[in-house]
Amino acid sequence: MSIEDKNIPQQQTGNQIDTQQETTLNSREEAQQLFRLAKKRLLDVSHWGEIANGFSSSFQLTDSNGQEVDRPVQKGDCFRISLPAPGPESGNGDDWVQVENIQDEQDEHADIEIISIRVRPTSDPQNPKPDTAHFYTDDATSTFVVKRKGNTVSAEVHGRNEVPNTQTSGLWDTVRHVAVAVGSILGLSNQQWKNLTEGLIKPKKDR
């Protein structure tokens, strides 16, 4: 298996999404510089909104206990996600995902460098109830990728096995999850991921 695919699960059920933006530089050195910048941006989850023009959701990085942190993301961390819609009671108004793997690899023979973050819906770490606080079930994953292949740098978001989360103990959360999930499946999240992937690989402006 290529290192380009190894952090993206197989699609088995429900919906899948694939969003990608790329730019080709004039030289390998320029591509390496942009890749390093994009990698830094990718790992700085709490500031995604600042690099993605028109990003409608707010992402806050927390540790595994739900405490806010200001550092590069690590395996086991959580994202607290505030959507522009009413949030779930199980997440205290927010959706939650947990980082289950971070890939940081290169293949010198193929001239590829890649960094990716795979997350999965989870419960609110500060809520004793076990309900998954997300509009998708915990079968779903999202993988956020920055890659350099030769002189081309790309940013990608891959969603797999996206199924509305009806496995909740509250009627409000069930109705809410289905409504938000259906909207996402119909493409309402596509623009958000397009904005993020464009922002991740946008060249830094000269001062």
The per-residue pLDDT for 186 is 65
pLDDT at 188 over 70: no
pLDDT in tens, 6-15: 999 999 999 9
Bridge pairing between strands 95-107 and 78-82: antiparallel
164: which DSSP letter?
B
CB 136 within 8 A of CB 111: no
The per-residue pLDDT for 187 is 60
Looking at the DSSP assignment, which residues form a beta bridge with residue 115?
104, 146
The per-residue pLDDT for 53 is 80
CB 104 within 8 A of CB 111: no
Helix (H, G, I), strand (E, B) or coil at 181: helix
Q: What share of the chain has pLDDT > 70, as a percent?
A: 97
Question: Residue 207 — pLDDT band, cuts 50, 70, 90?
Answer: very low
pLDDT at 181 over 60: yes
CB 86 within 8 A of CB 176: yes
Helix (H, G, I), strand (E, B) or coil at 20: strand
pLDDT in tens, 43-83: 999 999 888 887 778 999 999 999 999 999 999 999 999 98
Domains, the chain, with CATH or none: 15-200 (3.30.530)
SS3 of 57-101: CEEEEECCCCCECCCCCCCCCEEEEECCCCCCHHHCCCEEEEEEE
pLDDT in tens, 96-154: 999 999 999 999 999 999 999 999 999 999 999 899 999 999 999 999 999 999 999 99
CB 9 within 8 A of CB 84: no
pLDDT at 185 over 90: no
The per-residue pLDDT for 206 is 45
Report the number of secondary-structure helices (H) and strands (E) in the chain: 4, 7
96-121 burial, b at 16+ Cβ within 10 Å, e below that, comes to bbbbeebbeeeeeeeebbbbbbbbbb
> What pTM does this model have?
0.94
**Residue predicted with more confidence, 58 or 23:** 23
CA 110, CA 2: separation in Å to the nearest integer? 10
CA 41, CA 193: separation in Å to the nearest integer? 15
CA 123, CA 127: separation in Å to the nearest integer? 7
